[in-house]
Amino acid sequence: MDFIPSPPTITEWSAKARIGGRTVGFVPTMGALHEGHLDLVHRAKALCDHVVCSIFVNPLQFNNAEDLRHYPRQMEQDRALLAEAGCDALFAPEKEAIFAQFTPTTYDLGGLDGFWEGPSRPGHFQGVVNVVERLFHFVRPDHAFFGEKDRQQLTIIRHVGRDQLWPERIVPCPTVRAADGLALSSRNARLSLEERKQATVLHRALLHAATSAFRNSVEETSKAALETLSTVPEVRLDHFGIADVDTLEPLTAWGKRTEAVALVAAFVGPVRLIDNITLRR
Ligand code: PAF
């Protein structure tokens, strides 16, 4: 695997990789890699001729300095994991290189940041979209792979991509879970053993919502999930809700839909976790 710390070199690498109509798949990450990230790499390998992964802890998307400071960093381990997964290049730029000659843009997010994660994390999604644009600009991938665990991020990136006519194809990938249902996340590493157990209530609540959905009202379905969450009082709820799969707008009735999504965010110890599940009729 090639290790590429500087932007011009990754652009040259990618141009060479695309000769003869071959394709480049891209997995953008902030490091502290787990099976969820490696699954994205495997999916990229299955669909593309070459795979680039980036590791860049993007300061623009943290609205809490403590969160940024505590974000896990483990470059040597990540590098070994990516090489083993068959990734072809690791792009790991410095902040100065990514943001040279750069002024952040305020993107039209189509109001998609008006709920769920948006109000709790002001500026977060603008920060994500700015860095994704920057990474795409340097890597020039054909396909880019994003996990459904960050459902609102994925929805917003697809929206901006369509709006800005980004040529990259955004590929959504299913959430990878531990055997007990907890969605894999780099933040899980900060949970104590006890908190790790408590955190599994998030997935149990989502499963209850999935069982109740479309049989009971939206209100009853939310109530069932909230009751499950309240069985572990150490888990402090930030939000739970049911939304339209495309617009993520909060729902009060199912209407004629055949699908919806339930989203949850909660603090477990010092760590804020998010998860979601697709609800099907
Ligand atoms: O999902 C993430 O890890 C980040 O938000 C991303 C897409 C790499 C942008 O920094």
Q: What is the pLDDT of residues 37-93, one digit of tens each?
A: 999 999 999 999 999 999 999 999 998 898 899 888 999 999 999 999 999 999 999
Q: Is 50 a catalytic residue?
A: no
Query: Tokens 């531990």 belong to which residue?
Result: 178
Q: How far is the CA of 214 from the centre of ligand 1 (A)?
A: 32
Q: What is the pLDDT of residue 67?
A: 84
Q: What mean pLDDT do residues 203-223 have? A: 98
Q: Which CATH architecture has domain 186-280?
A: 2-Layer Sandwich (3.30)
Q: Which among 163, 149, 69 has a CA at the least distance from the CA of 112? A: 163
Residue 224 phi, psi (nearest 5): -60, -40
Segments of the chain assigned to CATH 3.40.50.620? 2-173
Q: What mean pLDDT do residues 252-258 have? A: 97
In the predicted model, what is the mean pLDDT of the chain? Answer: 97
Tens digit of pLDDT for each residue in 122-170? 999 999 999 999 999 999 999 999 999 999 999 999 999 999 999 999 9
Mutation pick for ligand 1 pocket among 131, 151, 157, 168 (CB with most ligand atoms within 8 Å): 131
Q: Is pTM, for the whole model, over 0.85? A: yes
**Cβ of 228 below 6 Å from ligand 1:** no
Could you tell me what percent of the chain has a pLDDT over 90? 96
Q: How many CA atoms lie within 13 A of 15 on its CB side?
A: 8
Task: Please check whether residue 90 is in contact with residue 8, taking contact to mean a CB–CB distance below 8 angstroms.
Answer: no
Task: Please check whether residue 172 is in contact with residue 156, taking contact to mean a CB–CB distance below 8 angstroms.
Answer: no
* List of residues 6+ apart from 259 with CB closer than 8 A: 245, 278, 279, 280, 281
Amino acid at 68: L
Superfamily of chain region 2-173: HUPs (3.40.50.620)
Q: What mean pLDDT do residues 9-25 have? A: 98
Q: What is the pLDDT of residue 63?
A: 87
- Protein residue with its CA nearest to atom 1 in ligand 1: 29
Q: Is the pLDDT of residue 96 over 90?
A: yes
Contacts 24+ apart (CB under 8 A), 66-71: 70/190, 71/30, 71/32, 71/186
Segments of the chain assigned to CATH 3.30.1300.10? 186-280
Q: How far is the CA of 57 from the centre of ligand 1 (A)?
A: 8
| DSSP 8-state code for residue 258 | S
**Nearest ligand 1 atom to alpha carbon 57:** 10
